[in-house]
Amino acid sequence: MSRDIKELKTKANMIRRDILEMIYNIRSGHLGGSFSMVELLTALYFDEMHYDPENPKAPERDRFVLSKGHTAPALYAALANAGFFPKEKLLTSFRRIDCMLQGHPDMRKTPGVEMTSGSLGIGLSAAGGMALACRLRGLKSRVYCMIGDGELNEGQIWEAAATAAHYCLDNLTALIDVNGLQNDAETKKVKNMLDIRKKWEAFGWNTTEIDGHDFDAIFSALDAARACKGRPTAVIAHTVKGKGVSFMENVVAFHGKTPTEDEYRDGMKELKAAGL
């Protein structure tokens, strides 16, 4: 399959600009982990996944579950750019009471959101249920679940991993955003999960490791996941928290820090320059 990687990079840059603008506009939101998963989301929504924004509940659609729900800004920017709702909603609705773009994804309010999330650890259970339901209904749909590396501290992730392997859910792909930082510190200092790949392999998953910002590597992993039969796939994506704005990269404070006016201006300038 021929893919326009240059166009996808341009789309990823636009999504980062949307994320920065919406968080700065409301002075609230999680920027670092939203930036780290942009290429993964871009690959899914603008090449890999089958969906219809005009009919977001079509049974045959592919499904995406954002388990690390605090990074909703990235999902909302991707959905808006994919046509699920007008882009102006990013600035008029995000993190506002009774609006469609809540601080964490809400499947009752936002077109394209498959699962209400935010309480860490629950997403893979929901995604596994969706994958099993699709198989029982004879649908060819695939299910993708984005998990944070800090979220791997949650026991429910591993219960869900064991269940998915037991039921041989080869239509399920977990994308683990390994950016190395969580709310307070480096993930390995909060709780060292040691060799993540060996853990997923021990739970019976087809497992691969990639650079989560390299589109060629991402698509190679997604193609391999589609070809794998009889096992779910875990894609361990090594990323950079705050990716795209140099002074935000690998800075734990930007997990949930709102940029100052100067940081917003300088960050937007850097992203616009990179998008030329």
> For all residues of the chain together, what is the average pLDDT?
97
Whether the per-residue pLDDT at 38 is higher than 60: the answer is yes
Whether the per-residue pLDDT at 103 is higher than 70: the answer is yes
Instruction: Give per-residue pLDDT as tens, 236-269.
Output: 999 999 999 999 999 999 999 999 999 999 999 9
What average pLDDT score do residues 87-115 get? 97
What is the pLDDT at residue 275?
83
Instruction: Give per-residue pLDDT as tens, 208-235.
Output: 999 999 999 999 999 999 999 999 999 9
DSSP string, the chain: ----HHHHHHHHHHHHHHHHHHHHHHT-S--HHHHHTHHHHHHIIIII----TTSTT-TT--EEEESSGGGHHHHHHHHHHTTSS-TTHHHHTTT-TTSSS-SS--TTTSTT--S---STT-HHHHHHHHHHHHHHTT----EEEEEETGGGGSHHHHHHHHHHHHTT-TTEEEEEEE-SB-SSSBHHHH-----HHHHHHHTT-EEEEEETT-HHHHHHHHHHHHH--SS-EEEEEE--TTTTSGGGTT-GGGGTPPP-HHHHHHHHHHHHHHT-
Contact in structure between 221 and 227 (CB atoms under 8 Å) = no
Instruction: Give per-residue pLDDT as tens, 142-186.
Output: 999 999 999 999 999 999 999 999 999 999 999 999 999 999 899
What is the pLDDT at residue 2?
67
Whether the per-residue pLDDT at 1 is higher than 90: the answer is no
Whether the per-residue pLDDT at 126 is higher than 70: the answer is yes
Provide the pLDDT confidence category of residue 88 given band limits of 50, 70 and 90.
very high
d(CA 239, CA 36): 6
Nearest of 131, 114, 212, 213 to residue 166 by alpha carbon: 131
Instruction: Give per-residue pLDDT as tens, 39-53.
Output: 999 999 999 999 999
Nearest of 102, 112, 5, 100 to residue 53 by alpha carbon: 112
> The whole model's pTM is what?
0.97
